[in-house]
Amino acid sequence: MTSSVTRPATAFSGRLALAGLFTLTIFLSASLLFFVQPLFTRIVLPAIGGASAVWTTAMLFFQCVLIGGYLYAHLMTRYLGVRTQMAVHLGLWACALAFLPLAMPEGWSYDPHRSTVVQTLTLFALGVGLPFGFLSANAPLIQSWYGKSGGPSAQDPYFLYGASNLGSLLALLAFPLLAEPLFGATAIGRGWAAGFVVLGLLLVPCALLARGGQAGPAPAETAAARPTAGRILWWMFLAFVPSSLMLGATTTISTDIGSFPLIWVVPLALYLLTFVLAFSNRPWLTAARLRPPFIAALAVLAVLFTGLTSTEQSWTLAGILVLAVFLVSLVTHRMLYEARPAPRHLTLFYLVMSVGGAVGGVFNSIIAPLAFDQFLEFRITVALAAVLLAGAWGRFSVRSLALGLALGVLTLLPLILGPVVLAGVSRLVPALVAVAILAGGLWALGRLGPAGHRGGMVAVLVFLLTAGLLINSAALHRDRSFFGLHAVRDKGDLRRYSNGTTVHGAERVADLTAARPTPITYYSAGGPMGQILSSDLGRTAQRVGVIGLGVGSLACYRQPGQAWHFYEIDRKVDEIARNPALFTFMSACAGDAPTHLGDARIVLEGQPEMGFDLLVIDAYSSDAVPVHLTTVEALALYRRQLAPGGVLVFHISNRFYRIELPLARGAEALGMTAMIRSRKDVSDEGPGVLPSTVVVMADSAEALAPLAGDPRWRPLAGDGGPVWTDDHANLLGILR
């Protein structure tokens, strides 16, 4: 009697242990897969620059390699036995060990005259291609092996995909919140390499159990159950929409707040969380029950990305944006789960999913920058998401079309009339009113049944199209490059150039015909930058370097006989600044000064000693912090390019970060003297002048003597925090 009880208990515990082994293996594999994405991007940032598009392009690489991994798994499980699969896969693992620990490929260097996208993809292929390809195949391959193991629920192994995405989610969050603040990239890379070795050892028993087990019973497959071309395209569409939305949100936020791991991984982590939630047998979590939050999120995304709200990016808005993308992605991925095929077609299903995600990456990273001169991809994807409102296709009634058209136009009214009627009130108010109108209208139309849902889709499409036409008519110039959006608009007496939601320079319209225009915004005569360039430091300098061109405002501080050099990563910015039909600072004051194109740090490293008397670092695009331009290695490079007694000048006005902290630590580590001035009250200089903060740095206090007697300048000392290096820099530690 005892033995009869013990045997089932032992068998049960053995089956649980088997499921636990597979769960642990797929969890570890997914953790390594998604941990390596921010890790390797962080390693190579000093070599390719800190633009937000670098991460989008990196994501494109990872998505494309994921397709290769899923295709590899699909073909192996289709044509090879488990024994052969194990031999081939472990052989690939052994080859990938040669790439460890992860590092910059030897001999690779950035060429500013070649495509940045192509060079970024090549860099990732050479540095991490094979290890990532190996890891990307594991999710479908391990699930396929589990289906043959005879373990619990082996006949429906999709639950392991939830464990896989949970591992991905935890790894993504662990990198910026734990690993990066505590360790350098080198130490993190060693830990990752150890985990990669352990994974190979865990795969061996998984394959052996799959070879020795029995496949669980599967439902009989009918011809109707086999995936049709239409069903495959539907899977691809459902994978495309959330992928494109996630990448669009990441680009939007990182352009204005910063391009660094935390900004990259939070949208991606929430995107993966939707897989964890959606790919599970939760009867209460269905696409139908998620329709109300889906409608609200869709309304938020539609209004935020009309281009008519004109709100500056903030942590609150970034949170709202990411939450809305999360809700839309959750519904879309749940629809994908509900459309999953029988386990026999599991690897095909994941292969198609990966293709759909990669198409989203290609659309955002390659097609959109070439095809559009503004940030249209987000609006297009929101419009495609609105198609999901329609449900099953059918006829449009005249009533639903009319109601949808009316709702789309009505939603526009607060955005058009709000700034006039509610002058002086935050622009968020009309945006919230528009969200309420659109969400409420979509809900009401949905109550009318299928025709009403289709009317709701029409409302979103009409709203986005009309808003796009209105915003296009407001710009004097609009362009786009790998590094962001560029727009020039007249607003009152000012002509302004913006990248993202941040104004990077302006000129008074009256000065466009002046012989020598007056610098404004951060560069007015009464501000710290204007003071430096108007003082003996600026007037007696023979050679001046400026990293970050903007509209060229600083050029009009140039004195006769001075040699000025500008450094600008984006050719489009240089074209805008030098076009006298748009701005006249450069043409009037420094038309003969060269612009050295490319990432400033890379360009300066390749130049002989320039002997600058003043080197201005004004490259904090939007409110982002280019970490690789702020580390102690970067400061040492700037110092080498100075003449004896030369001065470094950092313009660090920023809404989100206290950039003076890493600068003070770096100056202290290099034995340099630093001072800081913040100007908040600008009322005495008229419109167009903005508050600003500037840090100056030199080898000796004597070099800063022209500023030392001014009480507005105060010494800048280190706070005892860790010095930023190329290997270890913590942006979370300098948040305001």
List domains and CATH numbers for the chain. 13-215 (1.20.1250.20), 489-734 (3.40.50.150)
- Low-confidence residues of the chain: pLDDT under 70: 1-15, 49-53, 55, 112, 156, 158, 212-225, 255-264, 306-314, 390-397, 418-428, 453, 468-474, 500-502, 620-624
Q: What integer pLDDT is reported at residue 313 of this predicted model?
A: 56
Q: What integer pLDDT is reported at residue 318 of this predicted model?
A: 78
Per-residue burial over 185-202, b if 16 or more Cβ lie within 10 Å, else e, is: beebbeebbeebeebbeb
What does the pLDDT look like over 618-644, one tens digit per residue?
986 555 677 888 999 999 999 999 999
Q: What integer pLDDT is reported at residue 716 of this predicted model?
A: 94
> For the chain, what's the residue count?
736
DSSP character string of 247-265: HHHHHHHHHHT--SHHHHH
pTM score, whole prediction: 0.75
Cα 320 to Cα 300: distance, rounded to the nearest angstrom? 8
Cα 204 to Cα 82: distance, rounded to the nearest angstrom? 11
CB 414 within 8 A of CB 434: yes
Cα 510 to Cα 517: distance, rounded to the nearest angstrom? 9
Q: What integer pLDDT is reported at residue 17 of this predicted model?
A: 80
- Locate tokens 């990752």: which residue? 192
Judged on CB neighbours under 10 Å (0-12, 13-18, 19+), 428 is middle
- Locate tokens 């994941």: which residue? 350
CB 220 within 8 A of CB 342: no
Q: What integer pLDDT is reported at residue 47 of this predicted model?
A: 73
For 720, which DSSP code? S
